[in-house]
Amino acid sequence: MRPDSRTRSDAASFLSPDALAETRLPLERAATLPSHAYTCPSVWEVERERVLAGSWLCAGRLDQIPEPGDYVCVDLLGDKLVLVRDQVGVPRVLSRICRHRAAEVASGTGRSRSFQCPYHAWTYRLDGSLIGSPLMNEAEFDRGACRLPEIRSEIWEGFVFVNFDGKAAPLESDLAPLAAYLAPYRMSELVAIETGRYESPFNWKVLVDNFMEAYHHIATHRDTLEPIFPAALSRTRDEPGPFSVLEMPQGEDVPASHAPGGLPLVGPLDGPRQRRLVAAVVYPFHLFAPGPTSVAWYQLFPTSHDHFELRIYTCFPREALEDEGLREAVSDHQALVRHVHEQDIGACESTWAGLQARSYHAGRLAPLEEPLWRFNQWWIGQIGAEASRV
pLDDT, one tens digit for every residue, the chain (390 residues) = 334 444 555 667 778 888 899 999 999 999 999 999 999 999 999 999 999 999 999 999 999 999 999 999 999 999 999 999 999 999 999 999 999 999 999 999 999 999 999 999 999 999 999 999 999 988 998 989 999 999 999 999 999 999 999 999 999 999 999 999 999 999 999 999 999 999 999 999 999 999 999 999 999 999 999 999 999 999 999 999 999 999 999 998 887 654 556 899 999 999 999 999 999 999 999 999 999 999 999 999 999 999 999 999 999 999 999 999 999 999 999 999 999 999 999 999 999 999 999 999 999 999 999 999 999 999 999 986 544 333
Q: Please list the alpha-helical segments (H only) found in the chain.
A: 5-14, 17-20, 36-39, 41-47, 171-174, 176-182, 204-211, 271-274, 318-322, 327-355, 370-383
Which helix (H) or strand (E) covers residue 313, if one does?
A: strand 307-316
The per-residue pLDDT for 259 is 54
pLDDT score, position 266: 97
Cα(250)–Cα(256) distance, rounded to whole angstroms?
Answer: 9
Query: Measured between alpha carbons, how far is residue 344 from residues 48, 218, 329 in Å?
Result: 25, 13, 23
- Looking at residue 115, its pLDDT comes to 98
Nearest CA among 189, 246, 215, 289 for reference residue 32:
215
CA distance 205 to 302: 10
User: How far apart are alpha carbons 188 and 340 in whole angstroms?
Assistant: 25
| Structural domain boundaries in the chain | 57-154, 171-383
Local structure of 70: helix, strand or coil = strand
* Helix pair angle (327-355, 204-211), 10° resolution: 120
pLDDT given at position 390: 38
Q: What is the pLDDT of residue 14?
A: 79
57-154 and 171-383 share one fold: no
pLDDT score recorded for residue 270:
95
pLDDT on residue 2? 39
Fold of 171-383: Naphthalene 1,2-dioxygenase Alpha Subunit; Chain A, domain 1 (3.90.380)
- Predicted pLDDT at 77: 96
* Amino acid at residue number 165: D
The reported pLDDT for the residue numbered 13 is: 76
Instruction: Name every residue whose Cβ is closer than 8 Å to that of residue 167 and which is 6 or more positions away in sequence.
Output: 54
DSSP β-ladder status, 307-316 and 57-61: unpaired
pLDDT at res. 10: 67
Asked whether the beta carbons of 62 and 157 are under 8 A apart, the reply is no
Whole-prediction pTM: 0.94
| Those residues with Cβ within 8 angstroms of residue 40's Cβ, 6 or more apart along the chain or in another chain | 10, 11, 14, 305
Q: Is 66 exposed, middle or buried (0-12, 13-18, 19+ CB in 10 A)?
A: exposed
Q: What are phi and psi of 314, to 5 degrees?
A: -115, 125
Please check whether the domain covering 57-154 is classified as CATH 2.102.10.10: yes
Q: CA nearest 371: which of 379, 381, 362?
A: 379
